[in-house]
């Protein structure tokens, strides 16, 4: 089992422990570190080496590995798709995609940038085998293109409808700019994960016994891993869309906010703050090293789970 998974097995058993780890992992300063050169020397290729490193490395080095090395393949992740990269790169896209655009083209542009980045992140941090690496198959490439195209158009639906129907009433403005984006954002992010990582449900993912030995490829575990990741991503973007709208509504209702000129800055700042807080929370909702019970596994894996649940890498 990879050193990253061994770390999560021992240190990420509760939500609070995972949250503490993710706050450390998501430090943007580690994007500019070059210490992953140790991985290039082949130190993470065997379970025995992983155990040795887990015993030898201090906590900060382990945290660095979590942010820079793929737990399934031990490959170095592309810099822009590392977990801490989401904090530095995605805030502008999210804030801009939630703007009340007056032009459909600008709404489509920002949705395209957001959906493209999210699709790339989901693909780079998916669950994959060591011998497969982070290569992209033709099928996955088509799924990424199709998912981005569909989500871009669907994400701009509020602006498209308002523009085409020329809706200008306060009730319509509130619904299409503040209410509809909440379930729409959550559902599109759920869709993005399920589509791009569909091969995990179709082909299965590695499952491990309590000793860390691989016992085969389980479709049931693959489906569970994808669903957990999709739910956490939907929670991230749904909450990010909901909280700023709720804050503005309460401020206006309580007459704390009298100037319309302050609405936009407050929405932008609150969106950035909520997004920054929700990223580690969403990553912590489910364990990185998940467990699946005997009764939920295929029949061929049930003997291996006789002494306890099997483990699997959830992906991110």
Looking at residue 51, what is its pLDDT? 43
Q: How far is CA 123 from the centre of its chain?
A: 10
Q: What is the dihedral of CA 162, 167, 170, 174, to 10 degrees?
A: -20
Domain ranges for the chain, please list them.
3-313
H-only helix segments in 26-103: 37-40, 47-56, 59-68, 83-97
pLDDT of residue 46: 41
pLDDT at position 232: 94
Query: How far is Cα 47 from Cα 237, in angstroms, rounded to an integer?
Result: 36
Write down the pTM of the prediction: 0.84
- 32: tokens are 């500019």
Q: What is the pLDDT of residue 38?
A: 42
| Mean pLDDT per 10-residue interval, the chain, length 316 residues | 72 87 77 49 41 49 71 76 79 81 85 92 81 69 90 90 81 84 93 91 86 83 93 94 87 70 81 90 90 82 76 87
* Spatial separation of the C-alpha atoms in residues 256 and 97, rounded to whole Å: 26
């Amino acid at each position: 089992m990879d050193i990253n998974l061994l770390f999560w097995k021992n240190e990420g058993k509760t939500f609070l422990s995972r949250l503490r780890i993710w706050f450390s992992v998501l430090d943007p300063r580690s994007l500019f570190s070059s210490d992953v050169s140790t991985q290039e020397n082949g130190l993470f290729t065997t379970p025995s080496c992983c155990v040795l490193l887990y015993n030898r490395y201090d906590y900060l080095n382990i945290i660095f590995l979590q942010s820079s090395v793929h737990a399934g393949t031990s490959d170095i992740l592309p810099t822009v798709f590392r977990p801490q990269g989401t904090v530095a790169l995605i805030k502008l896209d999210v804030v801009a995609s939630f703007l009340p655009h007056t032009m459909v083209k600008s709404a489509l542009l920002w949705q395209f940038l957001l959906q493209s980045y999210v699709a790339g992140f989901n693909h780079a941090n998916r669950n994959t085998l060591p011998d497969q690496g982070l290569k992209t198959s033709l099928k996955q490439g088509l799924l990424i293109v199709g998912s981005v195209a569909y989500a871009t158009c669907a994400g701009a639906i509020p602006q498209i409808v308002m523009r085409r129907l020329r809706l200008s009433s306060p009730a319509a403005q509130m619904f299409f700019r503040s209410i509809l984006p909440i379930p729409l954002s959550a559902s599109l992010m759920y869709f993005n994960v399920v589509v791009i990582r569909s091969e995990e449900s179709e082909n299965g993912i590695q499952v491990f016994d309590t000793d860390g030995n691989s016992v085969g490829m389980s479709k049931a575990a693959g489906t569970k891993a994808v669903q957990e990741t999709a739910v956490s991503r939907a929670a991230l973007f749904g909450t990010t869309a909901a909280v700023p709208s709720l804050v503005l509504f309460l401020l206006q209702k309580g007459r704390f906010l009298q100037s319309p000129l302050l609405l936009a800055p407050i929405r932008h700042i609150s969106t950035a703050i909520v997004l920054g807080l929700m990223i580690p929370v969403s990553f912590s909702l489910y364990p990185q090293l998940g467990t699946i019970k005997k009764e939920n596994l295929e029949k061929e894996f049930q003997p291996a789970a006789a002494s306890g649940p099997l483990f699997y890498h959830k992906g991110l």
